[in-house]
Structure 1
Amino acid sequence: MSHTLPQAFAESVQKHASRTAVVGEDGTELSYAELDQLRIYAARALVAMGVQHGERVAIWAPNSVEWIVAGLAIQAVGGVLVPLNTRMKGAEAAYILQKSGATTLFCAGRFLGQHYPTMLAEHWPSSLKHVVVIGDPESGDTGWREFMAKADQAHTEDVLKRAAAVQPSDRLDIMFTSGTTGRPKGVVTNHAQNLDVIRSWSAVMGLVPEDRYLIANPFFHTFGYKVGWLGGLLHGLTVLPHAVFDAGAILQRIARDRISVLPGPPTLFISLLNDPTRAGADLSSLRATITGAAAIAPSLIERIRAELGFQVVLTAYGLTETCGVVSMCEAGDDAETIALTSGKAIPRVELRCVDADNRPVAAGESGEIVVRGYNVMQGYLDDPKATAETIDADGWLHTGDVGVLDGRGYLRITDRLKDMYIAGGFNCYPAEIERIIAAHPAVAQVAVVGVPDERLGEVGKACVVLRPGAALGEKELIAWCRDNMANYKVPRYAEMMASLPTNPSGKVLKFQLRDMAKGAG
């Protein structure tokens, strides 16, 4: 059994050479053998550009066939992949590029009305040497074709030697997740642990080569990348990337491309169920899905089965710090278990709920969720203090989430110790959003809390104290936020207040703000 991604992908190519590996949104199809050729070609181009073993290479682009080719090529030469959220603005992306030390960036050209190289230009990180534009390059951009042409300056043997030199303990990627400090932290994981997680996930999902896997979950997230296109390709599936979520387009693609596997956050399924074109769509090919990242009503699980036709509907729990997966339900679990729990720990992973003294609580009692096992990250990049605060001396990763384990070991998540909320499947960290809003010249103080939302699960509300004499309206602030942060971080509501509730030491009492917001609703 292979223990590095280049080895595992090469084995998959050997087994499935003539099968269709990927299908682009434009209908372009590549067999496993053809995808392998492109991977080698792109890897040769990286070698020609001077990318070394262990060097960080970032991708800031929407889901596409080229994203997959670039990702596989980076892994083949022993590079470390750094995925960036496509909704980030220039300053946000530049911080991650600088922090990771990325020397090469694959990015979108023009996407969602923005030209990505232009967004980055005024915040250019000192480490960055090369930028390759995936799709629609403009004047002055180095495009994908120009990049691939560099392959002529290197040889396939160079790539094969580099791939053979990759070790199971080598860094596979650095995925950035924000923290309570308000600055994103880089989560470091290696080849071996990610492969083991992908294998466990795929076994529970029952993936088979005949499956056709539509991936609308973004590739910059573990859901779209690790147990997304990577998991699909390592098990011989046909992977179909989808760049921008649109319920009508997804329904058309399910019918046209005979999709059988379609995971996503609850928001995705609510949108599909509510789309007026669903009634006329042929969804008979759908077989398996898995959801999570938000509270799920049992009625939604029933509708996903009855109205969308999925035979297998599972729920799961995971973090970027655990290679994306901690626990999963199983296909044989009853509907109530699937709807109300996030499953049990995957094999060789321990799961506990502990009290304030780090002692396990009894089954049925609430406590902080802690995880120990091969899936736990190597640590936060260049941040031993944050790593030590998160992983204790006995190897337990403290998630900051509160939950209850039942007698079977099934986990129910009840709350969060941290202030994080989840909007449409995206983790939102108030400290990070507050730091950005605090830069507004009219803002004296701000606290952001998550409030319930029927479609997205939760959305942000900014509670703002203005500077003396300043004037700022809700719509004006929200518009400013859209210009200065990724869309999913933008608060959907803003309330101007005379003061924020605090305790005697001056700490803002966010639970009071959340309670006030619920009361107002």
Structure 2
Amino acid sequence: MRAPPRARAHTTLSFLDAFRIFVMCLIVTDNIADLLYSRGAFRYSDVVESATTELVSTVQQLQSHIQPDDGCNLQFTSGTTGQPKATLLNHHNIVNNMLTFGKRAELFQKVHRICLQVPFFHCFGNVVGIVAALLYGTTIVLPGASFKAEESIQAIQQERCTVVYGTPTMFVDLLSSAKKTNNLNTDTLEMGVGAGALFSKELIQELLKTFKLKRFCVAYGMTETSPLSFMSKPHDSPERQASTVGCVVDHVEAKVVDATGKMVPFGTPGELLIRGYLNMLGYWGEDDKTKEIIGPDRWVKTGDQFVLYEDGYGQVVGRIKDMIIRGGENIFPKEIEQVLEQHSEILEAQVIGVPDTRLGEEVCACIRLVDGSRLTVDQVKQYCKGKIAHFKIPRHILFMADFPKTVSGKIQKFRLRKMVLEDGSIGTG
């Protein structure tokens, strides 16, 4: 279960004693409004209505003192690996990162209409969505208060959207909803922009086919890098779009290192490090955690196992923390997930490591099936034979209706693993 809204509000407010909070739009749940206002929050509408000539003049004078390197956005990480962290970004980070995004996405070519189905309280919605739209004059279409695939399909059709943003899970649900929609007409859609987690080749190919997209842009990054560090280029082939996370963005350095911190040759897996104007200022009030991720040389550790090629394009192998060590063999879940998701009856797959007395860890696949599927455990294992090494074939297979997610739509594998272990349906030997 996701933490209740009031608990999440308490977590957020614990970081914000030094800030004034402006509430622009609030759906009142569990008396969150009272909690916010008791901590000094202001309604944006109240501030606008109370403005006087003198106050406006004061604000204008203050603006002249604002510098590009001043912190302007306390952006919380998504919490896919645990407790969200408050990341402080500055004007220079965000504006330049989104100028680059707009060039790669070619937002300057026309007045686009973007179906923005990702939430505003994460970088994807707040920065890639709102800031990029302000810079390039695009129209934002909001399908609803929170993501519902059927509402997004309706918005795309009614508002004649040309672009749609989403995480892999959102796009999986979008495809499922599209197949159930009578007289589907999304002919105005030209481009999809995907970020937030890894996309399989099969998912991108299905999106290009179903929605007749001209291109699908894969964007890679993290909150700590404002957020984008890699992205597809305008004329990348569909094959390249589906096999990489794009090319490192302009004015940014990237390198891949081994466990000792030594750079590895091009084409060799290792941890990706990023450096440039896009670096966060730090985690608010957590200097120790900041030093864990940013060294004295200002390289930011991404925590991703990555392959960097000579032409600047890159490929994510998987999260280092998600790696499964089975009897001394390193297994990255992404490889198994991609094979499973090629099956016509598997909607989505998440692979985790679970304790095993003899091998240390075993492979467990959690699977969402398409509606009406009667796929069995034995059939899944048989399907995997010959497609992946025998020791990577999941020993445990669980069919699930849904996966635990952050409110931004990212899968929380640490919670999924906890759910599986607490369920007790798998052994440890």
What is residue 41 of structure 2 aligned with on the other side? 130
Structure-1-length-normalised TM-score: 0.60
Do 1:405 and 1:412's aligned partners in 2 also have CA atoms closer than 8 Å? yes
Do 1:263 and 1:291's aligned partners in 2 also have CA atoms closer than 8 Å? yes
What is residue 393 of structure 2 aligned with on the other side? none
Equivalent residues in 2 for 1:18-167, closer than 5 Å: 89-101=5-17, 102-106=19-23, 109-110=26-27, 114-117=30-33, 120=35, 128-132=39-43, 145-152=45-52, 154-167=54-67
Deviation at 1:153?
Answer: 7.5
Question: How far apart, CA to CA, are the structure 2 residues paired with 1:89 and 1:307?
Answer: 36
Deviation at 1:99?
Answer: 1.6
Deviation at 1:87?
Answer: 7.2
- Structure 1 pair 403/201, CA: closer, same or farther in 2 (3 Å)? same
Gap runs ≥5 in structure 1 = 1-85, 133-143, 423-429, 431-448, 457-477, 499-512
Question: How far apart, CA to CA, are the structure 2 residues paired with 1:281 and 1:182?
Answer: 39
CA shift digits 1:165-221 (9 cap, x unpaired):
321111111112277995432211110121110000010000035111221110011
Out of 284, 288, 307, the position equivalent to 1:385 is 288
CA shift digits 1:37-75 (9 cap, x unpaired):
xxxxxxxxxxxxxxxxxxxxxxxxxxxxxxxxxxxxxxx
The 3-state SS of whatever aligns with 1:362 is: coil
CA shift digits 1:393-446 (9 cap, x unpaired):
222111111111123222111122235999xxxxxxx9xxxxxxxxxxxxxxxx
Question: How far apart, CA to CA, are the structure 2 residues paired with 1:320 and 1:166?
Answer: 23
Structure-2-length-normalised TM-score: 0.72
What is residue 89 of structure 2 aligned with on the other side? 189
- Structure 1 pair 229/186, CA: closer, same or farther in 2 (3 Å)? same
Q: Does 1:173 align with 2:73?
A: yes
Question: How far apart, CA to CA, are the structure 1 residues paired with 2:369 and 2:253?
Answer: 33
Do 2:215 and 2:238's aligned partners in 1 also have CA atoms closer than 8 Å? no
What is residue 267 of structure 1 aligned with on the other side? 169
- Structure 1 pair 395/146, CA: closer, same or farther in 2 (3 Å)? closer
Do 1:87 and 1:487's aligned partners in 2 also have CA atoms closer than 8 Å? no
What is residue 216 of structure 1 aligned with on the other side? 117
Q: Does 1:327 align with 2:230?
A: yes
Do 1:298 and 1:335's aligned partners in 2 also have CA atoms closer than 8 Å? no
Do 1:290 and 1:316's aligned partners in 2 also have CA atoms closer than 8 Å? yes
- Structure 1 pair 255/183, CA: closer, same or farther in 2 (3 Å)? closer
Equivalent residues in 2 for 1:344-493, closer than 5 Å: 344-419=247-322, 452-454=366-368, 491=416, 493=419
- Structure 1 pair 284/117, CA: closer, same or farther in 2 (3 Å)? same
Question: How far apart, CA to CA, are the structure 2 residues paired with 1:366 and 1:289?
Answer: 28
**Matched residue type, 2:173:** S
Q: Does 1:307 align with 2:220?
A: no
What is residue 289 of structure 1 aligned with on the other side? 192
Question: How far apart, CA to CA, are the structure 1 residues paired with 2:215 and 2:134?
Answer: 20
Question: How far apart, CA to CA, are the structure 2 residues paired with 1:305 and 1:486?
Answer: 26
Deviation at 1:308?
Answer: 0.6
Deviation at 1:147?
Answer: 4.6
Do 1:219 and 1:225's aligned partners in 2 also have CA atoms closer than 8 Å? yes
Do 2:9 and 2:32's aligned partners in 1 also have CA atoms closer than 8 Å? no
- Structure 1 pair 100/290, CA: closer, same or farther in 2 (3 Å)? same
Do 2:5 and 2:30's aligned partners in 1 also have CA atoms closer than 8 Å? no
**Matched residue type, 1:220:** F
The 3-state SS of whatever aligns with 2:265 is: coil
What is residue 207 of structure 1 aligned with on the other side? 107
Do 1:215 and 1:229's aligned partners in 2 also have CA atoms closer than 8 Å? no
Deviation at 1:148?
Answer: 3.6
Do 2:256 and 2:270's aligned partners in 1 also have CA atoms closer than 8 Å? yes
Do 2:95 and 2:131's aligned partners in 1 also have CA atoms closer than 8 Å? no
Q: Does 1:336 align with 2:239?
A: yes
* 4+ long deviations beyond 3 Å: 107-111, 144-148, 152-156, 178-184, 276-279, 419-422, 449-456, 485-498
- Structure 1 pair 145/359, CA: closer, same or farther in 2 (3 Å)? closer
What is residue 470 of structure 1 aligned with on the other side? none
Do 2:232 and 2:246's aligned partners in 1 also have CA atoms closer than 8 Å? yes
Q: Does 1:495 align with 2:421?
A: yes
The 3-state SS of whatever aligns with 2:196 is: coil
What is residue 227 of structure 1 aligned with on the other side? 128
Do 1:297 and 1:339's aligned partners in 2 also have CA atoms closer than 8 Å? yes
**Matched residue type, 1:272:** L
